[in-house]
Amino acid sequence: MKIKLDNKTIEVKEGKTILEICQKLKIKIPTLCYHKNMFPEARCRLCLVEMDGKLVTSCSTKPIEGCEIITKSDRILKARKMNMELMAPGVDMSKLSDDFEAREIYDEVGLQTERFKPVKNYKADLGASLVRDNNKCINCGRCVQVCAKMQEIFAIDFVSRAHNEHVSPYNEKHLADVACIRCGQCLINCPVGAISERSHLEEVKKALNDPKKHVVAQTAPSIRAALGEMFGMKPGTLVTGKMVAALRRCEFDQIFDVDLGADMTIMEESAELLKRVTTGGVLPMITTCCPSWILMMEQFYHDLIPNMSTCKSPHEMLGMLIKTYYAEKAKINPKDIVVVSMMPCTAKKFESTRPELETGVDYVLTTRELGRLIKEKKIDFPKLADEKFDPILGLASGAGDIFGTAGGVIEAALRTAYETATGKKLKQVEFKNLRTNKGIQEGEIVINGKKIRYACANGGANIRKLVENKDKYDFIEMMACPGGCVGGGGQPIYFDDKVLELRSKALYNQDSKREFRRSHENPIVKKIYKKYLGKPLSERAEKLLHTKYEKRSQF
């Protein structure tokens, strides 16, 4: 099909929208409500172009044979600017964080805020994990689409109409009171930063400044593959050493590795799996590292509670060990220890407030908050020299590293389960069928003549699909965010799905370079069991490292 684009006649494929054609030709068109993974709704009216003399939205319009399209003219620029001004009156550009899409587009279109006065006056909705400020919202609807289509949670939708239209949980309830899984995918996809995490930064700073407090930092596997992005480094750059160095400059007393907590999880979880398989326990067993999935299960699938592994998530396990094992060893009163987890996740903030888990972790910072803290301390992050975790709880195996990516938990658990049960070494520790970047991955392994069928799902919609087919499997991993924790709601904002692949690759690289690649080989894990816990699933381990779940209402 031939069309005329900016006075040039070009040949285009039928069925593509004008925006897609322009993006391919590197013609820049500002967009806000458009997201390539979602259904275009043409709400924001920013991507206007002229087609045969009429203003149309390029995201939703497909060209017709022989039409003439203009992407830049006074009329177009004026209309875009007017829509921008209508959408975001009263936006304080100086307060707008750099990491949001809108910043660049506001600059590009040229936002003036004096012509229209804001008409919105909403109270911010404070949840345990997420904060929603509808005064900043431009009603682009991306959060609604993500929640409904990618996660299939349907926690939020538009309510009311005309200039009163705004996004809210049903019946204008608070986010904290509805069936929201706190995954934070709405936040990741918000172009203007109307949704943010409930910040624990002030509390952490207060603890750091308190000489009586012994502040311990622990960092999740996936943040080391993403934190660099906050400082302009390429996606997928591994910054483990720099991160530790920066945390030391932030004056944390000890810096431990949640990857070790992941190793502990594997020890407990693989033992639990073997126990269930050999004694005829409830199968499939489902992993419990993802707090969003736990919330989803408690709200929508609470009949699965017997299927859930009773293991706490890695950072809660390590948090518990810090307040018991480490406190004993370092002779510090556990009451003076403040455990701060650096997590890629907004739901972990909620998890740390669960009454049954309250004693372990005190505060959770997301990757973005950590980046902000480092920026506030004026640390030149990319130039830092690598440093090592504190040795008491600072060594992890490769199995712990890959927890941060979808399929990693199963892979790590099976490495240990196979080898501890059979006493043989795995020939191939890398499970290729769990590294396919697909939403649902599956496979099987034979342990002592018993076939164990496993599967993992990432993203809420895929979880729902896998729950339907759960009886086909013995061991299931669920991760609520796309790509697993590397795509978590606490991670730096990303615009391209390739970023997730790069982050996963970085973790797999770290795994392949480790001296120990199996959790049960980790000398610290061995030491903890020998000196403190006995063996996996021992009475003490059950008390410290395992938890329980409750049924929650969807309404």
Partner 1 sequence: MQILRETNLEGLKLAQKIGKEKVLKILEKKGLVGRGGAGFPIAKKWKLALDTKANERYLICNADEGEPGTFKDKFILKNNSETMIEGMLIACYVLEVKKAFIYLRGEYDYLREELEEKIKEVIGKSGMNVSIDIVRGAGAYICGEETAIMQSIMGYRGQAMYKPPYPTVSGLWGKPTVLNNVETLTNVPQALLYDDWNPNYRLFSISGDVNHPGVYEWELGVKMSTILDSVKPKEKLKAMSFGCFGGIMPVDIKAKISQDSICKENCQHGAYSIIFIGEKHNIVDINLSIAKFYTFESCGKCTPCREGTVRLLNILKKIRDGGCNDEDLEMLKELAQHIQDTSLCGLGQSCGNHILTGLKNFKEDYTRCLKK
Using CB under 8 A, count the residues that bind partner 1: 31
Catalytic residue among 50, 197, 268, 269: 269
Catalytic residue among 351, 369, 419, 521: 351
CB of 217 to partner 1, least distance (A): 43
311 is catalytic: no
Residue 60 is a binding residue for partner 1 (CB under 8 A): yes
Of 519, 508, 517, whose CA–CA distance to 432 is shortest? 508
272 is catalytic: yes
Give Cα separations from 332 to 255, 323, 391, 394 (angstroms).
Answer: 16, 9, 17, 18
Of 59, 91, 51, whose CA–CA distance to 75 is shortest? 51
Which residue of 164, 171, 279, 428 would you call a contact of partner 1, by CB under 8 A?
164
Q: Which stretch binds partner 1 (CB under 8 A): 45-53, 96-104, 251-259, 534-542?
A: 45-53
Which residue of 100, 116, 122, 532 would you call a contact of partner 1, by CB under 8 A?
116
Residue 44 or 544 having the CB closest to partner 1: 44
Q: DSSP letters along 451-502, please?
A: EEEEEEEESHHHHHHHHHTGGG-SEEEEESSTTGGGG-TTSPP-S-THHHHH
Q: If you compute the radius of gyration of the chain from its CA atoms, what whole number of angstroms results?
A: 25
Across the strands, what pairs with 364? 341
Residue 162 is a binding residue for partner 1 (CB under 8 A): yes
Of 531, 199, 136, 245, whose CA–CA distance to 366 is shortest? 199
> Which residues, numbered 141-160, are part of the site for partner 1 (CB under 8 A)?
157-158, 160
CB atoms within 10 A of CB 538: 16
Residue 48 is a binding residue for partner 1 (CB under 8 A): yes
515 is catalytic: no
Of 210, 416, 218, whose CA–CA distance to 320 is shortest? 218
Residue 43 is a binding residue for partner 1 (CB under 8 A): yes
Which residue of 83, 240, 287, 366 would you call a contact of partner 1, by CB under 8 A?
83
What is the spatial order of strands in the sheet that 125-126 belongs to? 125-126, 130-132, 195-197
Residue 45 is a binding residue for partner 1 (CB under 8 A): yes
Q: Which stretch binds partner 1 (CB under 8 A): 84-92, 223-231, 463-471, 486-494?
A: 84-92
36 is catalytic: no
Residue 48 contacts residue 58 (beta carbons within 8 Å): yes
d(CA 12, CA 2) in angstroms, rounded, equals 6
485 is catalytic: yes
d(CA 89, CA 106) in angstroms, rounded, equals 11
Q: Which helix (H) or strand (E) holds 450?
A: strand 450-458
CB of 543 to partner 1, least distance (A): 50
Hey, CA dihedral for 245, 249, 254, 258, is it positive or negative? negative
Residue 38 is a binding residue for partner 1 (CB under 8 A): no
Catalytic residue among 136, 485, 504, 519: 485
CB of 155 to partner 1, least distance (A): 16
356 is catalytic: yes
Which residue of 13, 26, 161, 378 would you call a contact of partner 1, by CB under 8 A?
161
CB atoms within 10 A of CB 472: 12
The residues annotated with a catalytic role in the active site are 269, 272, 289, 309, 348, 351, 356, 485
Q: Name the site residues for partner 1 (rule: CB under 8 A).
A: 41-46, 48, 55, 57, 60-62, 79, 82-83, 86-87, 89, 115-116, 119, 138-139, 157-158, 160-165
